[in-house]
Amino acid sequence: MKIKIDKISGLLESNSFLRAFWAELRSKFGKCAWNYQPHKDGASQTIFLGWADIDQEDVISISLTYSQKAVISGIHFGEQFGKSINEESELGQQLKDAVDRAYQRRNNPVIKTLEAPVSSLYRSLAPYSGQWFEISPDQHPATSLLKIKVRAFDGVDAKAEVLRISSCLLDILSVETNSLFWLSGQEDRQDIISDMESEKTSYPEVNTFVSDEEWMDDIPHYSGYLLLSSQAVQFFDRIVSGNELSSEEEAFIRSCHHFHVAREQDALIYDRLIFTGEQENEDGVTTVSLQEHPRLKSVSTLFSRRAEELATVLYMSAIEVASTIDSNPSGRCDSCGQVQYKISARVVDYVKKYLALEEGHSLIKIFKSHYQKRSKYLHEGAILRDNSYTGTTIPRLDPSSESGVSERTSVRLMNLREWIGYMLRQQLKSM
């Protein structure tokens, strides 16, 4: 069964329609769970999403079509890798009704206010308020409450939006304060709740901004609370509002992500141990007592999720370096005399040599893709992991991914480890 989708103007509206449609399925059928296996067929301009469980006798395969990049033009049910659906059947009519309602609602989501506890290692944030968000210190030490207004189509959609947006905000908070932040209880993704009440304490006035905008050392604070700049508060409002950001703003957010990931690794070195006291014995020798930072210890598994991006970069960098060993010297441009580097081609030649691959082998395409992801991560700040996953898959278009839609992770590290370890061992034999 194919349903045409007309007059969708771009990526933002396409994803609004999809989010509204998944919400309609959850509302109408009680669930929308996924066996999510997305892949794109460029020739037919089709993106196969996978199989949706909407509490019917059988799961339903769902595909999207697009007329131009990142603009949805149709949705197909049961046409590929599954049974066809009769348009006149009860299920066919229900699906058409869900598409119609989603199309009508696509530009009219409901504003929902959700609140999430945000933790840091040492201090709470001072209170800040914008049109779309509020930050307030919590009664627990080094914890703040982040309240966000999101445009969403149901509760599941709202939680995913909060996770997606808050990930950006925490990265910027890290840059603003040289500190480390995470959503408390993020491991089970269940600590995002609505209308949370907090005990009022004595703290700086709302929107007390950092006075020295040229600060560099230590952290910006007042009366024990972390301070932000007025520019950051204004930027938060633009991000949370859901309006389209400029390419410069999006690039800045991606750079903040790199900074925050680095700060996590930094914390594992410089914040791991904290001073708990000292004692001088009879010989005049002072014994200093240290213990592992309890908060850092409790969230180390959370930080390891970011390690997926670092591991991808380092695995691919390993063969980039190894490929220099027996490669031909770089040539020079005939016109300007500058050295011409063809690093990606050199890496591909290395893979073909040590995995003994013929031209056109599928692994060559995989390594080209992974090397491109590595380069985009390093040089453009591309994110290799979806931070909006709440336990429920919410497919949306993502033109930067190979499949054309969002993916929880786009790299399979175990495969990279095995392939690259094998190649390096083969190279050692030949040296």
Mean pLDDT (whole number) for 71-91: 82
DSSP output for 161-183: HHHHHHHHHHHHHHHHHT--EEE
Edge-to-edge order in the sheet of strand 133-137: 128-129, 133-137, 143-152, 110-120, 181-183
Mean pLDDT (the chain, rounded): 85
pTM of the model: 0.80
More confident residue, 139 or 293: 139
The pLDDT of residue 199 is: 40
Q: How far apart are CA 1 and CA 78, in angstroms?
A: 7
DSSP output for 31-60: --EEEEEEEEETTTTEEEEEEEE-SSSS-E
Strand 71-77 to 110-120 pairing = unpaired
Contact by Cβ (8 Å): 240, 170: no
Q: How many CA atoms lie within 13 A of 271 on its CB side?
A: 18
What confidence category does residue 381 fall into, taking pLDDT thresholds of 50, 70 and 90?
Answer: confident
More confident residue, 59 or 186: 59
Q: What are the C-alpha distances in Å from 373 to residues 133, 317, 344? A: 33, 12, 12
Residue 169 pLDDT greater than 80, yes or no: yes
What confidence category does residue 337 fall into, taking pLDDT thresholds of 50, 70 and 90?
Answer: low
Alpha helix positions (H), 247-306: 247-270, 294-298, 300-304
Where do the structural domains in the chain lie, given as residue ranges? 2-105, 110-245, 305-429
The pLDDT of residue 192 is: 40
Of 196, 110, 118, whose CA–CA distance to 156 is shortest? 110
The pLDDT of residue 195 is: 37
How does pLDDT run across 42-80, given as a tens digit for each residue? 899 999 999 999 988 888 999 999 988 889 999 999 855
How does pLDDT run across 383-408, given as a tens digit for each residue? 777 767 777 888 888 887 888 888 87
C-alpha dihedral, 419 to 423 to 425 to 428, nearest 10°: -170
Q: Which of 308-322, 356-370, 405-419 has the lowest mean pLDDT?
A: 405-419
Using a CB cutoff of 8 Å and minimum separation of 24, what contacts does 247-253 make? 251/380, 251/381, 253/168, 253/171, 253/172, 253/381
